[in-house]
Amino acid sequence: MIYLDNQASTPIHPAVLKLTTQVMQDNFANPHSQHMLGQKAMHIIDNTRKSIADYFGVQFSEIIFTSGATESNNIAILGVILQALQTREKVEIITTPIEHSAVIAPIKAIVNQYPNRIIHKVAPIDESGIIKVEDIQNLLTPDTVLVSIIHANNEIGTIQPIRDIGRMLKKYNPDSVYPLFHSDGAQAVWSEEINFNYSNLDLYSISGHKMYAPKGIGALYIKKNTPINPIMYGGGQEYGIRAGTLNTPGIAGLGEAIRLLTLPEHKEMVSKVKNLRNTLLDKLLQIESITLNGDRQTRLPQNINISIQNQNSEKIVIAADLAGLAISAGSACHSGAMQESEVIKAISPNNQEKSKQSIRISLSQFTTEEEIEQTYDIIKNII
């Protein structure tokens, strides 16, 4: 089977697997226990927290561990809004039309609870799939408490100008802590270097299984003094923001995956993936019925998203599966259900058919040239 659905989930890197299983076996004690074994587990967590904080240019206590980007997004969004509602009558939140459901769903839920007090504004987007800084700026008011922008899109792979948006937001109301700036970085961390301080971010969500670490582990950056409420309660772990016994093996694995990003060969790996992606994309675009969705340049190196005229996404994905190729239609993260893509709809307002004809092909650092050739043949045959 050729696996080109790496934006749904990557395989685990062998070095990550080795460390994760070793920690699972040797450091099973509760990291919050006082005895030596518990302290050893906590020592692993502390070291990992330190190296992750260093990698992103922030402080040790500004990184909390979660179960993944869904939880990180929920804490960021609900936590900030619930806190703001304590001191403000009206709160506004700004997002884009191409956010992941792990951002949209918590916003919808909280707006339903406080329909007269929360306004959700969505910035416009064009065919490129890239947000313009001024379009966010135009929506800001003194009531804006949170701006949440996906760093790299999970379907079309477009990368947003996070640093420019951060700089603009910082200047908007320098005397107030608001508007806070959150970004969902689940898809971005593997290929895009980011320093949370330079980007003026207040919150940033990370997911392990999009970057060769296990599923069920993630992190949230919360800048010091960010006004935020917990959304679940228990043993007060993670500075009182995320209760629950910490996942020592998952945390060690996430740390190892981030350490791999610092190796000199990492950049080469990213360019290798980009070259393979370009080879496949160039060939696919020679087929007349195929068009690319989203900007060609400002996109993740592993991402291809195309629409195929007069073809149905679901049928293509099933035919590809039967031919030994795993790809996806729209976003795979919506509990397995195939739906037409809201992201493609948003960037193709004049051709809504495209959202039913789109497929995503996402490479990994383990993808080979032969696999790329076979993928082209399979897709061409299906069409």
Ligand X SMILES: Cc1ncc(COP(=O)(O)O)c(C=O)c1O
Burial of 105 (0-12, 13-18, 19+ CB in 10 A): middle
Burial of 71 (0-12, 13-18, 19+ CB in 10 A): buried
Considering the complex, state which of residue 218 and residue 230 has its C-beta at the smaller distance from ligand X: 218
Question: Is residue 305 at the binding interface for ligand X, with CB under 6 A as the rule?
Answer: no
- Contact with ligand X (CB under 6 A): which of 6, 74, 148, 154? 154
Q: Which stretch binds ligand X (CB under 6 A): 26-34, 107-115, 183-191, 284-292?
A: 183-191
> What φ, ψ does residue 226 adopt, rounded to 5°?
-70, 125
Question: Is residue 379 at the binding interface for ligand X, with CB under 6 A as the rule?
Answer: no
By Cβ distance, which residue is nearest to ligand X? 68
- How far apart are alpha carbons 103 and 353 in whole angstroms? 25
- 367 contacts 1 by C-beta, under 8 angstroms: no
Smallest gap from Cβ 173 to ligand X, in A, equals 28
Which run of H or of E encompasses 371? helix 369-382
Angle CA 257–262–267, to nearest 5: 100
Question: Is residue 70 at the binding interface for ligand X, with CB under 6 A as the rule?
Answer: yes
Question: Is residue 251 at the binding interface for ligand X, with CB under 6 A as the rule?
Answer: no
- 323 contacts 379 by C-beta, under 8 angstroms: no
Smallest gap from Cβ 207 to ligand X, in A, equals 3
- 253 contacts 213 by C-beta, under 8 angstroms: yes
Smallest gap from Cβ 238 to ligand X, in A, equals 16
- On the question of a cis peptide bond just before residue 179, with omega within 30 degrees of 0, the verdict is yes
Catalytic residue among 76, 93, 333, 361: 333
Question: Is residue 364 at the binding interface for ligand X, with CB under 6 A as the rule?
Answer: no
CA atoms in the 13 A half-sphere facing the CB of 122: 12
Considering the complex, state which of residue 122 and residue 319 has its C-beta at the smaller distance from ligand X: 122
Considering the complex, state which of residue 222 and residue 290 has its C-beta at the smaller distance from ligand X: 222
Let me know if 301 is a catalytic residue: no
Considering the complex, state which of residue 150 and residue 325 has its C-beta at the smaller distance from ligand X: 150
* Interface residue list for ligand X (CB under 6 A): 68-70, 100, 102, 150, 154, 184, 186-187, 207, 218, 333
